[in-house]
Copies of this chain bind each other. A is one copy, B any other.
Amino acid sequence: MKPARLTQTISDSLTTLRKSERKVAEFVLKDPLAVIRMRIVDLAQHAEVSEPTVVRFCRAVGCNGFQDFKLALAQQLASSPSYGQIAVTDQDSTREYTHKVFDTTVDTLLKVRDSLDLETLDAAIAAIYGAQRVEFYGFGASAAVAFDAQHKFFRLQITSAAYADPHLQNMSATSLHPGDVVIAISQSGRSQALLDSMELVKQAGGIVIGLSPTGSPVARSASISIHVDAKEDNQIYIPLSSRIAHLAVIDVLAIGVAQKKGPKLDEHLMRLKAGLASLRSPV
Main secondary structure of the interface of A (DSSP, over half): helix
Contacts of A141 in B (CB 8 A): 148, 151-152
A73 to B88 Cα, complex, angstroms:
30
Q: Assess whether A252 is interfacial by the CB under 8 Å rule.
A: yes
Interchain nearest-CB distance for A169 vs B (Å): 14
Segment with Cβ contacts to B, from A46-54, A177-185, A189-197: A189-197
The interface on chain A, measured as residues whose beta carbon lies within 8 A of the other chain's beta carbons, has a size of 81
Contacts of A244 in B (CB 8 A): 244, 247-248
Against B, the Cβ 8 Å flags (1 = close, 0 = not) of A119-138 are 00110010000000000000
Contacts of A116 in B (CB 8 A): 98
A243 to B251 Cα, complex, angstroms:
11
A141 to B201 Cα, complex, angstroms:
27
Contact: B94 with A113, CB < 8 Å? no
Against B, the Cβ 8 Å flags (1 = close, 0 = not) of A43-77 are 00000000000000000000000010011001111
Q: Which A-B residue pairs are the 3 nearest by beta carbons?
A: A144-B148, A75-B78, A102-B113
